[in-house]
Amino acid sequence: MPLPVILDCDPGTDDAFAILLALASPELDVLAITVAGGNVGLEHTLRNARALTALAGSNVPVYAGADRPLLGAFVSETGVHGEDGLGGIILPDGKPPAPGLAADVVRRMLRDSAEPVTLIGIGPATNLALALTTEPALTKHVAQIVLMSGAWAEGNATPAAEFNAWSDPEALAILLACGRPVVFATLELTAQALVTPALIAAWRALGAGRCLQAACDIQSAVPPSRRLGGAGAPLHDPCAIAWLIQPGLFTTRTCSARVDLGPGPGRGRTLIDRWNRTGDALNAMVLETLDAPGFFDLLGHRLALLP
């Protein structure tokens, strides 16, 4: 039976691939797409999620959520994603957002589901944290929380912190403390999903569908990563989806994890103890290695199934 999931996102170029992969995969029953401000402001991320869902011909409802973190000010990442979040690639507008706020919808769906729901977070964790903090008893209806977040070495938003974790570290801390299994696709994992121009050309050859071609257009607009040597750009967010679809593509390690909530330069850093040096409770599974050719094959062929 398909796995019931709620996909919380902030599209975002890599979110575009993640949304399309989720919608193309019969292993997942996407109950809702909830949206926060993150890579760009909520007015853009919400429009992008609606447009991508419509492009895929999906009727999955899209809900607006938080436009800022639990504490502090909102900061976008237009240098990677462009002012509109999709690298300037214009998609037809989708249906209006479904009525309701993301956190309320998450709570309602957890209450109503006949089986535990997997929460997927590929943006700042604000929406998911608001849902679980305002009704903690609902955590028993959460199967697991799968996140693209964090790093065990250096960050990409600051020297210490990965962007999603840094954008709302208090929200991430709430998820880590909620008592449900948490899975991390960190920067070290997603660096292995490095997309080059040659790979984009190979994807384009898989079909002429509008979703595949739009995804290739979007990725072509992403600047090469200076952090990763300039050979291409990593696809962060689809790694979290691929873990649920084909876990055999990954190796994993169970760790303790916490997040720096201080005001200094370490704010948002995820302290992931891969070697159990602290003796803290093991509260997270970290995806460590990726079969990159298998991942890229999965991504290209699934997107080619879409319209």
Beta bridge mates, 142: 117
Beta bridge mates, 194: 234
Residue 78's pLDDT is 86
Q: Which domain holds residue 183?
A: 3-304
Interval 237-296: pLDDT, tens: 999 999 999 999 999 999 999 999 999 999 999 999 999 999 999 999 999 999 999 999
Confidence of residue 86 (pLDDT cuts 50, 70, 90): very high
Residue 278's pLDDT is 94
State both tokens at 186.
């960190």
- Here the CATH number for the domain that contains residue 256 is 3.90.245.10
| DSSP line for 129-155 | HHHHHH-GGGGGGEEEEEEE---SS--
Q: How far is CA 163 from CA 31, 124, 148, 194, 260, in A?
A: 26, 8, 10, 18, 13
Dihedral sign, Cα of residue 8, residue 304, residue 202, residue 82: negative
Interval 112-139: pLDDT, tens: 999 999 999 999 999 999 999 999 999 9
Residue 77's pLDDT is 87
Q: Which residue has the tokens 């909520």?
A: 42
What average pLDDT does the chain have?
A: 97
Residue 33's pLDDT is 98
> Who's near 208: CB < 8 A, 6+ residues apart?
none
Total number of domains constituting the chain: 1
Residue 79's pLDDT is 82
Interval 149-207: pLDDT, tens: 999 999 999 999 999 999 999 999 999 999 999 999 999 999 999 999 999 999 999 99
Q: Which residues are catalytic?
A: 236
- Region 1-7: what's the mean pLDDT? 97
State both tokens at 7.
């996909």
pLDDT over threshold 90, residue 51: yes
